Amino acid sequence: MSMLEYDFMRNAFAASAIVAIVAGLVGYFLVLRGQTFAGHALAHVGFTGATGAVLVGIAPLWGLVSLTVAAGIAMGAMGERLVQRDVAIGIVLALSLGLGLLFLHFFTAYATQATALLFGNVLAVDEGTVWTLLGLGIVSVVMLAVISRPLLFASLQPEVAEARGVSLRRYAVLFAAIVALATAECVQIVGVLLVFALMVGPAAAAQQLVDRIATGIFLSAGLALLEAWVGITLAYYTDWPSSFWITALSAGVYFVTVAWRAALARKGPERVGYA
């Protein structure tokens, strides 16, 4: 039988497509701004929100989204410069891990759900979750499109942008909220511990391949989508975890692009960035 004859496989491909595109688009700006640590921290915060939601009888996804967005906004508001952001992120991450440990202590009866949150299980996504992810994805992409131009200005030339009246703090907060939504979606596919696979890997690879920002953004989304779909297909035929395949593909593509860029650099500086 074709794998697409199964409902759970169709749901998996649909959910992974939504999440991969959002992660690729948002991840490009995340890498460009040097805030990859923020995505990692927000994923851990999301785990705390999801486990806490289960304890009070709420769907894990809504606890994941609400606490992740709140933490993202707090991170964006607490620090403008890179050093300040790192301190703010570290404080929020430490607090969230402490709370997560406490919630996990009471979460032992739901070990399977805890494992799914940590490592993801896209094959368990139902149709209702697909529609929820689609709604969150649309909100994330629309918000990113609205702030993309001033966000790029603030990311590439922060001093000039601030002199021109662009509020660095405002766009930091807005972008942090978008990253939080994207991170919450990624957790549904690859889990808390492997968010880098979809959020950072494709974006970093795209920046190795091309220097044009617009091309890089769409290439990042395309790579994320390809890695997600190929990973699910390999998981179906090998019976290995889909999160493993997606992570392996993400890392493999990135290392290949780094090697390719290095090879171009050895041939001459003018060859690098020609795309």
Full-model pTM: 0.84
Selected residue with higher pLDDT from 89 and 154 = 154
Average model confidence (pLDDT) for the chain? 83
pLDDT at 83 over 50: no
pLDDT band at residue 82 under the 50/70/90 scheme:
very low
Which superfamily does CATH assign the domain made up of 3-195 to?
ABC transporter involved in vitamin B12 uptake, BtuC (1.10.3470.10)
**Residue among 49, 38, 130 nearest 84 (CA):** 38
CA distance 151 to 158: 9
Give the Cα-Cα-Cα angle 137, 143, 148 (nearest 5 degrees): 120
pLDDT at 268 over 50: yes
